[in-house]
Amino acid sequence: MKLFLLTFAGFPVATLLLGFLGAAAVTTLLYILRLRRRRVGVAFLALWERSLAPRKASALRSRLQRLLSLLISLLIVGALILALGDPRLNDEENEGRSIAVLLDVSASMGETSGEGTRLDAAREKVKTWLSALGPGDEMLLIELGARPRPFAPATGDAEVLREALKEAEVLDVSADLKAGLGLAEDALRGRLHPQIILVSDGALPALDAKSFPNLPKFYFESVANKQEETSQNVGITSFSARRYPLSGDRFEVLVELKNDGIEPAEVELSLFEATQTGGRGAQLDLHRVTLPPEGSLAQSYSNLDHAETGLIAELRRVDSVPDPFSRDNVARTLLAERIPAKVLVVGKPDNFLDAALLLDESLEVKRVSADEYPPAGDYDVTIFNGVFPQRASRTGAALYLGIPAELDVPSEEGGYPLELGKELSLFGFDSWQKDSTVFRLIDPYNVQVLKGRTLVPQKSDVVLGASNAGPILVRGKRAEGDFLALGFSPRESDFVLRTVWPLFVQNVIDELYPRGRTDAVLGLRTGTLWRPPIPTSQSTVTVRGPLASANPSESTVPIDQGRAVFFGQRAGFYEAVSKEGVVRFSGSILSGAEGALPTAEEYRWGDKALPSAPSMQPRANRKPWFWLLLGVLAVSFSEWWLYHRRWTV
Amino acid sequence: MQLIDRLFRRKASAPQKGAVTVDLFDEDFLKKLSTLALMSRRAVSGVRRGDRRAKKRGSGVEFADHRPYVPGDDIRFLDVGIYQRFGKLLLRLFEEEEDLSIYFLIDTSLSMATHDSAKLNHAVQIAAALCYVGLSGLDRVSVTTLGERVSGRLPATRGKQRVFRILKFLSEIEAEGATRLGPALKSFVAQNKRPGMAVLLSDLFDPEGFEAGINVLRFNKFDPVVIQLVDERDHDGKLTGDLKLVDVETGASREVSMNPDVQKKLLSETQERQKSIERFCASRGVPHFAVSVRTPFDQVVLSVLRAGGLLR
């Protein structure tokens, strides 16, 4: 509230006025009481009379002194009450301003700048401004990451802002300056003396100033320690690993490296096993690679082993060129878990089928004749190879190879699940669902079949493959469980002679009993919406991470269609904890965008560079309450001194 | 409420009465009196007999004057030498020795009762001791209390056995009223025609001047001895703050704010006044003893006695 030349940042004027009136009344009362002199009986007053000044002059002087002393007391009380109001001078420097500070927290702000990171330097810069906030000033601190957000509501309370500033941390994302400016512009709309200050290392994408025609005063404060023309960054832009389908303990990785420099870059790529806590474990592989200038290089490394769950790739320049952005030199990914499957093969011995099943070490295969079906125990998948007994649900999903001669067992009672169509001869797959797991890495077009029959699917069934005459590969679900039926016997085709046959068998097993055995688990990219699959019946799940980081966070995220949905901004391994168990996933920068941006000591806006914020220079402490208190002390001391010396009452 | 009472309560402006608070019949006090009486003999042993003579002609041994013989006179006192030389009958007169009258004049104004009657107590103790010594020397002792006027009187008495009567009188003294030595002592001399030693025990805080009182004694052929009771607290500067000084006798008041200047002036004024008292007494041959209330009374009595002139 303003009053004459002062603005009160503390108590309102009305409160101060009431307080002063009350205090003045009490002071006056005490003063009156104080004037009631102590009465002392003396034996011979004449003796004192001779020692004192003439009575008349003394009385007049005394009255004046009393009045002066009362005024001094009231002055002290008034000054104290005024100090409580935290008054500020209404000069131009103290005019209320609305300041939005865009604090860049993109990954490049994590690079060192002097003793600390660039974010530390930015934080210190903002702190000095907090000290310079005037009484009417308000500041909105905005975290400028991939999704800009305010740290705290706009306030003039420096302590609140200081606390909010502590939350600032470097995120493994690129800053979305456009969104940040939009947020700042919206927040400042209609406010007094709006201004936006961007605190950054300048590694930001160029923006078209015309996109923000009504932008308030816009300043730029750089925390870059040098001006770069171009970036010499190298980094990992892609990293994934997959287990070999037929040898689950071995795996291969695919990594893509990028070089932003105009010269070739010598780099060393190390692969590490990730520990259970997300830290770096044993080194698995090391390669020296030359990256082409301003280009990328995809490399795959095969036959790797001795990693149980996760992998960490680290890149390091070995030439003399410094790497300006190191956070994209690390990438993480997970290996699919190896889950064994119990497979029951019913029918006569079949070498082709046995060979295909032998290739997958994670399969536990049991063979029984049709008469022995169903054997004791539970199974995940049952392959009916030319036999079609009544199916038991405990033997899991079913793969029917071949067709029955006659449909003697109704499907409702667990027999062959489909009706048979017309007979076929010399046919093949003319159409198939290419995105189906069954046809992963398989092109069945060349498969030649001697004879077979079309299958008549029910409404709920899905046709995965068909000849021109009709469906020959159908997937469906019956009361006993899922099934997949092939409208011919593989032995009556060249399918079993083809190299894709074992893959087809494996794929079918994966389709019927999905274990993710050989899925290549791509590392998630920070700055994007993460949707890791979480097999849970819950609607939310607790996500912890990044593991092994100094300040892991824990949050509850929603589950949408079996996937946790949240915006990943920090690289590392994560855990999603549900009542069904713990699922791990990982995120890495995997983007060349942030590293490609050179740091800059200025930021161009339109056709000129943005100025630095002149009004946010640190100011001397001009808060009048300090001087008021000092004045009170001085007057009190003087009053005491004069009182002691009896110059006043 | 207590606080409000404390804030608003008016202190009594001055005591209306004061009393002797010391026990004169205390065994220790009486022992001290006896001791003083013995010591006084030694103290005055060098003084010749007849130093204090009565102004009455009589059968003493010291020649005083001649007068013409009239029939009936004792012819033993005829001056034979004069008759032989001049043929005239003249009778030799001698100064008659008689008991010395000592009047103790005790100031009982309210100024003597300040500070828990310290001065009054001290005056009474000194008077008691001197009375005892006087009675021991077979002097006639009388005690009179003074304020604005003569407020009490113990007729002259003699004999050691009368000491308790004196002590009783002294212990019942009450202080009241103002000090007016002049009028009070005029009353005293009017009531006591027989001259003698008049020992004035007072603080001499007389607004009209102590000199008038002493002069009354002198002019009426009394031998005044002044024992001035001094209580340093009456003029010490230990009082601090804003004060309203009230005269305990007159009720007059004066506001004062104590500070070093005032303290200094007060001390200076006190010293000056003391010097003027001493000058006055010395110039008129009046023995003067300034006695602090802090000095034990027996010590005071001895010093007074040693100074001489008071007792034989």
**Rounded to a whole number, what is the distance in Å from the CA of A52 to chain B's nearest CA?**
7
Instruction: Residue A35: list chain B partners with CB under 8 A.
Output: 242
Return the bridge partners of A382, or none.
Answer: A344, A398
**Rounded to a whole number, what is the distance in Å from the CA of A141 to chain B's nearest CA?**
55
Residue A259 backbone phi and psi in degrees, to 5 = -125, 120
Q: Across chain A, what does the average pLDDT equal?
A: 84
CA distances from A120 to A106, A167, A462 (A): 13, 12, 58
CB B21 within 8 Å of CB B121: yes
Q: Where are the alpha helices (DSSP H) in A50-157?
A: 55-84, 118-131
**Rounded to a whole number, what is the distance in Å from the CA of A138 to chain B's nearest CA?**
50
The model's pLDDT over B111-151, given as tens digits with 9 standing for 90+, comes to 999 888 899 999 999 998 888 888 877 778 899 999 888 99
Residue A557 backbone phi and psi in degrees, to 5 = -120, 150
Return the bridge partners of B247, or none.
Answer: A42
Out of A33, A38, A52, the one facing B241 most closely (by C-beta) is A38
Rounded distance between C-alpha atoms, residue A293 and residue A264, angstroms: 5
What is residue B190's three-state secondary structure?
Answer: helix
Residue A324 backbone phi and psi in degrees, to 5 = -75, -15
User: Is A45 close to B111, i.e. CB distance below 8 A?
Assistant: no
Chain A interface includes B246 (CB < 8 A): yes
Rounded distance between C-alpha atoms, residue B216 and residue A579, angstroms: 121
Q: Percent of chain A scored above 70 by pLDDT?
A: 89
| Interface mutation target, options B269, B273, B276, chain A, most CBs of A under 10 Å | B269
Enter the ipTM: 0.76
The confidence band for B45, taking pLDDT boundaries of 50, 70 and 90, is very low
Range B278-289 average pLDDT: 91
Chain A interface includes B38 (CB < 8 A): no
Q: What does the pLDDT read at residue A519?
A: 53
Amino acid at A347: G
Chain B interface includes A405 (CB < 8 A): no
Q: What does the pLDDT read at residue B54?
A: 43
Tokens of A61: 């002087």
Q: What does the pLDDT read at residue A316?
A: 92
Q: What does the pLDDT read at residue A446?
A: 92
**Gyration radius of chain A over CA positions:** 41
Q: What does the pLDDT read at residue B44?
A: 44
The model's pLDDT over A47-71, given as tens digits with 9 standing for 90+, comes to 888 777 665 556 677 677 778 878 8
Rounded distance between C-alpha atoms, residue A344 and residue A394, angstroms: 11
Structure-model confidence comparison of residues B50 and B289, the more confident one: B289
The confidence band for B51, taking pLDDT boundaries of 50, 70 and 90, is very low
Q: What does the pLDDT read at residue B39?
A: 66
CA distances from A589 to A309, A401, A524 (A): 20, 46, 8
Rounded distance between C-alpha atoms, residue A24 and residue A359, angstroms: 98
Out of A37, A45, A47, the one facing B270 most closely (by C-beta) is A47
Tokens of A291: 């990256």
The model's pLDDT over B70-118, given as tens digits with 9 standing for 90+, comes to 888 888 888 989 999 988 889 888 765 556 788 999 999 999 998 888 9
DSSP-derived letter for residue B152 is E
Name every residue whose Cβ is closer than 8 Å to that of residue A295 and which is 6 or more positions away in sequence. A258, A259
Out of A33, A39, A46, the one facing B246 most closely (by C-beta) is A39
Instruction: Residue B249: list chain A partners with CB under 8 A.
Output: 43
Pairing of strands B223-230, B197-202: parallel
DSSP-derived letter for residue A526 is T
Q: Report the predicted TM-score, pTM, of the whole model to 2 decimal places.
A: 0.48
**Gyration radius of chain B over CA positions:** 24
Q: Of the ranges A634-638, B121-125, B183-187, which one carries the lowest mean pLDDT score? A: A634-638
Range A619-630 average pLDDT: 68
Q: Of the ranges A188-192, A607-611, A623-627, which one carries the lowest mean pLDDT score? A: A623-627
CA distances from B60 to A132, B76, B92 (A): 112, 14, 11
Pairing of strands B288-292, B223-230: parallel
Q: What does the pLDDT read at residue A229?
A: 65
The model's pLDDT over A241-285, given as tens digits with 9 standing for 90+, comes to 887 766 667 888 999 999 988 889 999 999 999 988 888 899 999
Instruction: Residue A44: list chain B partners with CB under 8 A.
Output: 111, 203, 205, 207, 234, 247
For residue A441, pLDDT beyond 90: no
Q: What does the pLDDT read at residue A461?
A: 94
Residue A219 backbone phi and psi in degrees, to 5 = -120, 160
Range B240-263 average pLDDT: 82
Name every residue whose Cβ is closer than 8 Å to that of residue B288 and which is 6 or more positions away in sequence. B225, B226, B228, B277, B278, B281, B282
Structure-model confidence comparison of residues A339 and A277, the more confident one: A277
Chain A interface includes B116 (CB < 8 A): no
